[in-house]
């Protein structure tokens, strides 16, 4: 049986334990947040991905670092981003472009420190998990 990561769409391996899957989510959070910070991924799409990954891990929505990505996703969910844009009328996309640019600016401003925090948090969790499995 092939296992596809729920949010990245990558085939992660033929079989995977729950803990291995959760570790892959933690790694995806670190990678996504890093890509957002260095400009390889926009903050709107990245926030949507992070929110889903954080939900998959069962993170508390009351946590400030989690809540910001929930808010960004919620406030911008009507904006056409990513692959869905191919199904939109070009004139409609052009009309929405200023709003999308402003939302991207706001999301970066709102989410930058939370990205840094999530990277630190999940890198520490992965190191701790590795020490426990090695020990």
Residue 54 pLDDT? 97
Quote the CA–CA distance of 31 and 25 in Å, as a whole number: 10
pLDDT tier for residue 53 given thresholds of 50, 70 and 90: very high
Residue 26 has pLDDT above 90, yes or no: yes
Residue 133 pLDDT? 76
User: Among candidates 65, 94, 67, which has minimal Cα distance to 80?
Assistant: 94
- Average of pLDDT values for 66-83? 96
pLDDT digits (tens, 9 = 90+) for 78-134: 999 999 999 999 999 999 999 999 999 999 999 999 999 999 999 999 888 888 877
Mean of all residue pLDDT scores within the chain? 91
| Count of the separate structural domains present in the chain | 1
The residue range of the domain holding 60 is: 3-134
- 3-state class of 107 per DSSP? helix
pLDDT tier for residue 4 given thresholds of 50, 70 and 90: low
Residue 99 pLDDT? 98
The fraction of the chain above a pLDDT of 70, given in percent, is 89
Residue 8 has pLDDT above 80, yes or no: no
Residue 3 pLDDT? 57
User: Among candidates 129, 131, 106, which has minimal Cα distance to 19?
Assistant: 129
Residue 56 pLDDT? 93
For tokens 């939109």, what's the residue? Answer: 88
């Amino acid at each position: 049986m092939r296992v596809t990561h729920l949010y990245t769409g990558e085939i992660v391996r033929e079989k995977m334990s729950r803990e291995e899957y959760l570790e892959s989510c933690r790694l995806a959070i670190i990678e996504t947040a890093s890509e957002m910070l260095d400009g390889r991924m926009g903050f709107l799409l990245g926030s949507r991905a992070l929110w889903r990954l954080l939900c998959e891990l069962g993170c508390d929505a009351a946590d400030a670092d989690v809540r910001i990505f929930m808010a960004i996703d919620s406030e911008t969910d009507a904006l056409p981003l990513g692959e869905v844009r191919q199904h939109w009328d070009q004139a409609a996309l052009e009309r929405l472009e200023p709003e999308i640019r402003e939302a991207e600016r706001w999301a970066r401003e709102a989410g930058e420190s939370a990205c840094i925090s999530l990277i630190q948090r999940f890198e520490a969790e992965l190191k701790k998990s590795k020490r426990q499995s090695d020990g």
